[in-house]
């Protein structure tokens, strides 16, 4: 079994969060209660806990000319999965905050697009041109 990643995050409204991940991103909702839910995002567990308004002071940074949020998370997909997800997001008219090609013609070249969830978290979907270069420099 491949190692799975777990991330726990606060959220503003658990219902809206569950609906976004389930209906918009196609993720499965696992165990949940009135104020929390586990989300299966490509076999990785994100636990959201409703806590009301919160604030992360995070600045953006410039990477290859693209302005990106310092605080974001996401998944690395195969090219086919990435294209399907991009098509699904586009068909649903979900705003894409950025769609960028990074490190073209270099080691680690990849395509990424970013969306925001109902909590203003930025979720990145990326696919590497060569999967063997995910951690190469």
pLDDT tens by residue, the chain, 137 residues = 577 788 989 999 999 999 999 999 999 999 998 999 999 998 999 999 998 777 777 677 777 777 777 778 899 999 999 999 999 999 999 999 889 888 888 988 999 999 999 988 899 999 999 988 887 76
Residues 64 and 103 in one domain: yes
- Residue 112 forms beta bridges with which residues? 100, 126
CA distance 8 to 80: 28
Q: Are strands 6-11 and 44-50 parallel, antiparallel or unpaired?
A: parallel
SS3 for 21-88 is HHHHCCCEEEEECCCEEEEEECCEEEEEEECCCCCCCCCEEEECCEEEECCCEEEECCHHHHHHHHHH
**45 and 90 belong to one structural domain:** no
- What is residue 46's predicted lDDT score, i.e. its pLDDT? 93
Same domain, 112 and 73: yes
Let me know if residue 22 belongs to a domain: yes
What total number of domains does the chain contain?
Answer: 2
1 lies in some domain: no
What is the span of the domain harbouring residue 100?
60-133
Residue 27 sits in a domain whose CATH number is 3.10.180.10
65 shares its domain with 121: yes
pTM for this prediction:
0.81
Six-digit token string for 78: 């195969």
Please state the separation of Cα 80 from the chain's center in Å.
17
């Amino acid at each position: 079994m491949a190692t799975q990643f777990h991330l726990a995050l606060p959220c503003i409204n658990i219902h809206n969060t569950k609906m976004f991940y389930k209906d918009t991103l196609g993720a499965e909702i696992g165990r949940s209660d009135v104020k929390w839910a586990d989300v299966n995002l490509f076999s990785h567990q994100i636990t959201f806990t409703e806590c009301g308004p919160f604030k992360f002071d995070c600045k953006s940074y410039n990477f290859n000319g693209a302005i990106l949020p310092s605080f974001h998370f996401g998944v690395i997909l195969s090219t086919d999965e990435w294209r399907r997800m991009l098509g699904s997001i586009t068909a649903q008219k979900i705003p894409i905050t950025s769609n960028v090609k990074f490190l073209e013609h270099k080691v680690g070249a990849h395509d990424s697009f970013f969306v925001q969830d109902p909590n203003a978290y930025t979720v990145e979907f990326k696919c590497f041109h060569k999967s063997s270069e995910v951690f190469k420099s």
